Chain A
């Protein structure tokens, strides 16, 4: 019979091989799914994975769009990964993302129509602080009253969504918007916009921030005492306490960083790709980023790749919808398959298959 046997330590080779195998397996499973639906499986797989990157007609546009779509996911996931490593579960990044966008937009619009160079930097700071403060609510409640940060941070998402709706309908509403909800279009106001920095690359300030966050997190985790403390707390909270880790401070730090990065992601999104505060501005980046964080195995470089991969399936999935007439639900099934196989293949990192002879009784 075949048995899983635990490896003495995680296999390095399998750590690298499983994501690649998982993608190939998903292509095969997805191809079967699309074939069952009566579509050409090869065309579908090529449209999802190849066309956004290399198709003559689209690639010049969709390649940069990968960065635009991936940047907020990466930025948020990096922040979340610090907490997740230490066993601090911030599920409310979506709320922190919304509050960052709201705080930044409110500060910027307060100066409308002033045109000055310092407005955008001020909005960036306000965005970070907005997300930071929103994350401080579950953090302080946890450190002072020992509440559960999973519940508190999640519930705060719904409060943030209500604040977002009220902002779009009243206190940030565009007075020249013909009665429609939504703020002024920030991306069309030069002092407040987050434009493409190098034409044709999709790189806006959020993309720059995402890459900076990846590097900073890498250094923090691998080269810094604080990174060691985070890892230690995650693996053995008691040992960490004996080693002198201030666990309350660590909660504040991890939630605070995640909140600030989520807030920044929201600010860069509302001043750039989204353009304005609207009722449904929160498009679920904060929740998708949780998947990105785990898909990237909580490793900064892994998160970078996971964010780009997820962005690729989003954009390729859109292409497949209107090029091949695939229903949007089948694309979601395909994305789900990818996540399932990636996480399922993980078992080979820690276990190996062994053929064991049945023992005679």
Chain B
């Protein structure tokens, strides 16, 4: 039983909770996670990893987690997933959109292993997808950006031109424009999720062009540091609260909250009630958190931003409510009409008023 001893050793080290290595390793639910970045990247991957550890702590001895960090998207991830499934994982979370096709392929080969893919759209009987409605948080950011800017120029560091990022730009712009008709957005495409040097350059370029609010859809704190150096520039934390940059330049943040979902899905596997799902939750369900709005924001603006947050959470207001036109002037949503999830999931156009083109 060499393998068993090996697994037990792995359990002890991976849990990293200082628990005594139990001898009934095989009875545990084994949960795998693969990350696109290092597990201490300060943003996206770290937040998934912390949620994984929170989940493991919640279940204690009943769960064993195995993780693999910095897995390139594509052929390598398919091999990693296969080996994880072969090693006896019961449930595997794949936490980047580029893992979509590899996850689908491996899920087909291992019908008894459950898979959960973040931010994708392909499902199978043993493959569910989950994502968060970050655009709800972007609405609050856009509102604050529109109110706080003095130059009426807002810089936006975008990562890749995928629907999730485009939704965020549109949502932020709509709500900035609503409270400040003169506002202009300047979008820079960084083509990375995590590259502090590149993100810092992008932030500096935007500041040089007169932007005094910077929004980011990349994961490092480099734009915060650039803004801090520049002085009168406001920023928002991304994926993590980034509270260390408050009260200035960071005036609020969007926080990814994955742990409750992980706990719920692992519990379902334990109970034998796991079924494929398409989860897309927002502020209301607690998957998207709005970080504390800092003291740099006047009290009345803060109160209104919180009211906006609460009305979205309560389901009273949808950030994409008509009348809204597309960038080319054609009608997208009539007065009072609310965008359907299908359109949002595949969003590949700007709303009216945004300048520039989506790279394609």
Contacts and interface: CB of A to CB of B under 8 A. Distances in A.
Provide the main secondary structure of the chain A interface: loop
Given A173-B360, A321-B68, A269 B75 contact: yes
A126 interface: no
Interface residues of B, number: 46
B333 interface: no
A290 to B, nearest CB: 19
B161 A181 contact: yes
A72 B88 CA distance: 30
B32 to A, nearest CB: 7
Interface string A43-67: 1000100000001111001100100
B313 interface: no
A291 B6 CA distance: 33
A179 B359 CA distance: 12
A58 B83 contact: yes
A340 to B, nearest CB: 22
A318 B76 CA distance: 10
Interface in B314-360: 345-348, 359-360
B82 A61 contact: yes
Interface string A142-186: 000000000000000000000001000110010000111100010
B3 A322 contact: no
A43 B80 CA distance: 19
B87 to A, nearest CB: 7
B344 to A, nearest CB: 10
B83 A179 contact: no
Interface centre among B16, B38, B160 (most CB of A within 10 A): B160
B73 A278 contact: yes
Contacts, number: 113
Nearest to B359: A169
A276 B101 contact: yes
A318 B360 contact: no
Contact of A274 (B38, B75, B346): B75
Nearest to A38: B13
Interface string B141-185: 000000000000000000011110010000000000000000000
B162 A57 contact: no
Contacts of A61: 82-83, 86
B38 A328 contact: yes
B163 A283 contact: no
B79 A315 contact: yes
A39 B346 CA distance: 46
A321 B65 CA distance: 12
A62 B78 CA distance: 12
A273 B101 CA distance: 11
B36 to A, nearest CB: 10
Contacts of A179: 162-163, 166, 346-348
A91 interface: no
A322 B75 contact: no
B13 A39 contact: yes
A319 interface: yes
Nearest to B36: A280
Interface in A313-353: 315, 318-319, 321-325, 327-329
Contacts of B80: 318, 322
B98 interface: yes
Nearest to A59: B86
Contacts of B98: 278, 280
Contacts of A269: 75
B121 A323 contact: no
Interface in B1-36: 3, 6-7, 9-10, 13-14, 16, 32
Given A178-B346, A180-B97, A325-B13, A279 B191 contact: yes
B10 A273 contact: no
20 contacts: A43-B6, A57-B3, A57-B87, A58-B87, A165-B191, A170-B360, A179-B347, A179-B348, A180-B97, A180-B100, A181-B162, A273-B75, A276-B101, A278-B73, A283-B75, A321-B67, A323-B6, A325-B10, A325-B67, A328-B69
Interface of B: 3, 6-7, 9-10, 13-14, 16, 32, 38, 66-70, 72-76, 78-80, 82-84, 86-88, 97-98, 100-101, 121, 160-163, 166, 191, 345-348, 359-360
Given A57-B88, A318-B68, A322-B67, 7 more contacts: A69-B79, A281-B74, A318-B79, A322-B66, A322-B87, A328-B38, A328-B70
